[in-house]
Amino acid sequence: MSYGYDNSGNIATDITVYDLTDDQRLASVTKDGVTVGAYQYDGRGLRTVKTVNGEDKLFVYCKSGKLIAEADSDGNILKEYVYLDGDIFLPHPHLGSP
């Protein structure tokens, strides 16, 4: 990382720290001493929870490890994913749909 300084020698740019898990996955992001994002993973290394600005988003996977849904912390489905021949076919947003 490189830092920019003002004429008084003070750091003039934001300092962002990326914390990694033991297996090198992103665990948290801290900006100017405040955690702005945190991440949790299951035993397969798949991200299961993302916390940003105090709000959790949960990620649900099928047995093969494909992402099939995103939910809020109350379990309300926000988005579902459908696969066709192994490729993502359709993300279906639940919110705002007719």
Q: Which residue has the higher pLDDT, 6 or 37?
A: 37
The pLDDT, as a whole number, for residue 15 is 78
Q: Which residue has the higher pLDDT, 61 or 17?
A: 61
The pLDDT, as a whole number, for residue 97 is 47
Full-model pTM: 0.73
Q: What is the pLDDT of residues 46-72, one digit of tens each?
A: 999 999 989 999 999 999 999 999 999
Residue type, 44: R
pLDDT beyond 70 at 2? no
Cα(62)–Cα(64) distance, integer angstroms = 5
Selection from 71, 51, 52 nearest residue 61 by Cα: 71
Q: Domain coordinates of the chain in residue numbers?
A: 33-93
Mean pLDDT, rounded, of the chain: 85
Cα(9)–Cα(30) distance, integer angstroms = 23
